[in-house]
Structure 1
């Protein structure tokens, strides 16, 4: 089975590659060399979908198409090192309450969506964030009931670590006053112990297991919607942080059909019961690099906004809470050793300082027991780190995979949750860079908006898009534009073992590039987020806007 899958992908991918040459001229081009040095060029020669030369001295005489960029800025295609592809597609197709100013407004948006979609048995969506509402309180089932009571409603929190249900959904799931909290989750209750409608982390499964399973046609619609948006934003590759066996099969089929819209580095979900079978299939990398599977996403703790991030000390704004571990510490050794022994990279979700410390401890133990230190293992998010643990990432060769817009979105809430004294090891991008470790960057879409120029802006300014705070939030941890650009290109490719063909426009790499409306290396940092993509190219073919 393993050989069949690999050989089929290779043979099919090779069969669709065309013998074409294009010469891009009059470009204000930028890329990084293999050492991360910024290079400029004006001409780009592409043969068979890959870069053949920058500013070539000699040109082939036949089958050459010239593309004049009219002096516009050209960049390598950007790579989002942590996102959720079909989750983004679902977000685009379902009810989105991200912009709702209150729980009541969110419920009214749900009602409007339900009215427009009368045949949907469940009303699903998400994006709510109680920290942006006037009362900053978790929402109630009764608020949804007032608008939609005859169909179950389930809305995920913006970070995906909590869900909001109406009473119909709670009843279908059998959640009552007598329902016990799972070890990896929490049911929010009122003073009498009754469920209020919000479920944290592992408790979300009580509702989600009652929902209709997604179909292949739904996956296809989600993929199409997400792919179109990413290409319009200049994202040509992304790391899909946690896929089920069903999605694994779906991606494999689309790779064989050559119909994946962007390049996908897929992480197998550690919670999928068929993980051993997928590991046994071995690593997958299609010859056209549209699908690469050689890693596992594991789940350490929850999120800071829902107080699910596991902390060493209590929450400053909830002294009785320390957060939640989604994978229990006694299960770490079997998980880590099993994944590393299979030769797969382990990418471990950890937001709180306790979760990060436990993960680093286990990486250190597992490397001594089974090896695997050179697999470029990662900690996804790495948001809050005990100061004494910051240097351990470089020492252990564990990559902090981080999302710059998390800091600018979390800046007010994070200090409430942690207190100022614990901010020293939080969102510490510059400290990681100085330690010598690669820093792959992403967005965690759809938790945050997918636009990579929002991420570049946040990384460089430590400000939100209203230029607040004026001096930047903990500006000592800001990156230069070159460092941030590397995070979304070369370091992201390195974190996926794909720096040989992705992450830049040097000879031998795929000709994935974008044309933008301003020079990001020669503008005020506060304007980075305003950058707009005019063209996106994949393997020397224009894919946005479509012709």
Structure 2
């Protein structure tokens, strides 16, 4: 009798226990979770309901507390927060998929071959391409338009350099844009030979071309966004900071997201056109679960690879040449005061030491007496020793570690051995600012965020060069790198309360990896694969 009563009591206890288990949508279990919370705690399991993490803990506790519609057993695999690319060109990546891919070309002849093949297959009215880099060629000189003129005398050809700061165009485009040997520009360069344009346009004069070319139609725009999303999900990106979008593109993204046709979360930086800036500033910050519009993207100067970056002293490999400001200093200062009067950020592309100090001074003046504005320097690539202290004033460096490992072969040629010491100085920037946001700048660099992680930590290229790393004193730790791609990036977007870590109450954005990037040998990090990408608990890859 006693045995029977005991059995009944045990059964009742078990039933009561089951009743007490809270129903949830998903439980992820048997995981190696890096939460990236304040203490960088690890966990074994978490529960998700209505698109948010509702509990994080060990396997036994979560299993006892919750009954899930779906249980995901990851068999000990590593789980980290969804990755945030703090600086990229998401829409641009998608558009590139509609154009000629020129990345990885080893010569101008190969560029031409790809253009010819594309033209035969697609028969476009205008030939667009992107990705060439003369620094990767045996002859490291800018190309010229002559071959394009002979092959395409009546078809406009626009081939964008990999960094987005130079075009190679044919004579048809020069004619359409009204560019000739007498055209004067003061915010870039029309490269000349024998007093005539070679077809290479650096920074400012590119706008003359953009003004006369037809924009992509709506079908192409939508396909570009969806193509970019698919690529990014495959690499574990759940939020992208698109560094420069028009009102039209931002509204298209919003429309697709509201129709549930697009899941990617987008932090949109408004391109610095007067009309769009006035429109967004007058309406205030726009925020949904998937779209956040609260910053203006400004270009201070050009790129180092095309010698468009504005330097305090001449380029070491081009005497007398200083690069150029794309936006005049007076305009940067006036815009900073205007944005400071709103709730928006100012996020400014600054590569050269002259451009960086001009922007930092403008920020310091505009933000005097204002707290927690989190304005960013995008790239912060070459900084003079005396100018690093500006970052102690709440200014956030937003950097792209693969720029260091892509540029290291020729950076000293451009800057000289002394000045290069203040370039790509990520650890110094972190020490000064307290946070650092990491991105890729894709499609300038590869989308793969594990290349970013590897470059930040190892300061090497994918072949392991150089031994010991490029300027290794500025390497980040693995913990710092992961924070830069998650919680610090979220902080830079004013989103640290909703994403960037696996914590109760935050959006359930996370990824499952085939490697423990915090423990595997350094050389294995670039080969890391994403086995699952989840946004708000929804599996998108």
8 Å contact from structure 1 (residues 411, 473) kept in 2: yes
Q: Does 1:149 align with 2:165?
A: no
Q: 1:272 to 1:121 in 2, by over 3 A?
A: farther
8 Å contact from structure 2 (residues 47, 66) kept in 1: no
Q: Does 1:386 align with 2:391?
A: no
Match of 1:175 among 175, 179, 183: 179
**Larger mean Cα displacement after TM superposition, 277-286 or 492-501:** 277-286
Report the Cα offset of residue 347 of structure 1.
0.5
In structure 1, C-alpha distance between the alignment counterparts of 2:147 and 2:84, rounded to whole Å: 40
**Larger mean Cα displacement after TM superposition, 339-348 or 244-253:** 244-253
> Which residue matches 1:375?
373
In structure 2, C-alpha distance between the alignment counterparts of 1:81 and 1:429, rounded to whole Å: 15
> Which residue matches 2:238?
236
SS for the counterpart of 2:421 is coil
Mapping of residues 44-55 of structure 1, within 5 Å: 44-55=46-57
> Which residue matches 1:206?
208
Q: 1:436 to 1:84 in 2, by over 3 A?
A: closer
Mapping of residues 399-418 of structure 1, within 5 Å: 399-418=396-415
8 Å contact from structure 1 (residues 243, 269) kept in 2: yes
Report the Cα offset of residue 63 of structure 1.
5.1
In structure 2, C-alpha distance between the alignment counterparts of 1:436 and 1:220, rounded to whole Å: 38
Report the Cα offset of residue 333 of structure 1.
2.5
In structure 1, C-alpha distance between the alignment counterparts of 2:497 and 2:221, rounded to whole Å: 30
In structure 1, C-alpha distance between the alignment counterparts of 2:214 and 2:399, rounded to whole Å: 33
> Which residue matches 1:10?
none
In structure 2, C-alpha distance between the alignment counterparts of 1:252 and 1:66, rounded to whole Å: 32
Mapping of residues 19-418 of structure 1, within 5 Å: 21-33=25-37, 35=38, 37-55=39-57, 57=61, 59=64, 64-118=69-123, 120-180=124-184, 182-190=185-193, 192-286=194-288, 289-368=289-368, 371-394=369-392, 396-418=393-415
* Structure with greater Cα Rg: 2
The Cα offsets for residues 214-233 of structure 1, whole Å up to 9 and x where unpaired, read as 23222101001000000000
Report the Cα offset of residue 515 of structure 1.
1.1
Report the Cα offset of residue 492 of structure 1.
0.3
Match of 2:486 among 485, 489, 493: 489
SS for the counterpart of 1:390 is helix
SS for the counterpart of 1:274 is helix
> Which residue matches 1:16?
none
The Cα offsets for residues 63-82 of structure 1, whole Å up to 9 and x where unpaired, read as 53211111211111110000
Report the Cα offset of residue 152 of structure 1.
0.9
> Which residue matches 1:438?
435
In structure 2, C-alpha distance between the alignment counterparts of 1:61 and 1:422, rounded to whole Å: 58
Match of 1:427 among 424, 432, 435: 424
In structure 2, C-alpha distance between the alignment counterparts of 1:340 and 1:298, rounded to whole Å: 14
Report the Cα offset of residue 256 of structure 1.
2.5
The Cα offsets for residues 110-140 of structure 1, whole Å up to 9 and x where unpaired, read as 010011011x210001100001111100011
Q: 1:89 to 1:448 in 2, by over 3 A?
A: same
Report the Cα offset of residue 20 of structure 1.
5.3
Report the Cα offset of residue 41 of structure 1.
1.4
8 Å contact from structure 1 (residues 216, 250) kept in 2: no
Stretches of structure 1 lacking an aligned partner (at least 5 in a row)? 1-18
In structure 2, C-alpha distance between the alignment counterparts of 1:334 and 1:161, rounded to whole Å: 24
Report the Cα offset of residue 509 of structure 1.
1.1
Q: How many residues align?
A: 516
Report the Cα offset of residue 511 of structure 1.
1.1
In structure 1, C-alpha distance between the alignment counterparts of 2:539 and 2:126, rounded to whole Å: 38
8 Å contact from structure 2 (residues 391, 433) kept in 1: no
Report the Cα offset of residue 524 of structure 1.
0.9
TM-score between both structures, scaled by the size of structure 2? 0.93
SS for the counterpart of 1:93 is coil
In structure 2, C-alpha distance between the alignment counterparts of 1:307 and 1:373, rounded to whole Å: 36
The Cα offsets for residues 423-478 of structure 1, whole Å up to 9 and x where unpaired, read as 22111111122225210000001110111000000001100001001111111111
TM-score between both structures, scaled by the size of structure 1? 0.92
Stretches of structure 2 lacking an aligned partner (at least 5 in a row)? 1-22
In structure 2, C-alpha distance between the alignment counterparts of 1:261 and 1:166, rounded to whole Å: 39
8 Å contact from structure 2 (residues 400, 439) kept in 1: yes
In structure 1, C-alpha distance between the alignment counterparts of 2:318 and 2:224, rounded to whole Å: 38
The Cα offsets for residues 347-372 of structure 1, whole Å up to 9 and x where unpaired, read as 1110100011011111111123xx54
When the two chains are superposed, the root-mean-square deviation of aligned CA atoms in Å is: 1.4
The Cα offsets for residues 45-92 of structure 1, whole Å up to 9 and x where unpaired, read as 111111111126255555532111112111111100000111000122
> Which residue matches 1:6?
none
Q: 1:214 to 1:372 in 2, by over 3 A?
A: farther
In structure 1, C-alpha distance between the alignment counterparts of 2:376 and 2:57, rounded to whole Å: 36
8 Å contact from structure 1 (residues 384, 427) kept in 2: yes
8 Å contact from structure 1 (residues 224, 261) kept in 2: no
In structure 2, C-alpha distance between the alignment counterparts of 1:252 and 1:43, rounded to whole Å: 33
SS for the counterpart of 1:375 is coil
In structure 2, C-alpha distance between the alignment counterparts of 1:196 and 1:480, rounded to whole Å: 45
SS for the counterpart of 1:54 is strand
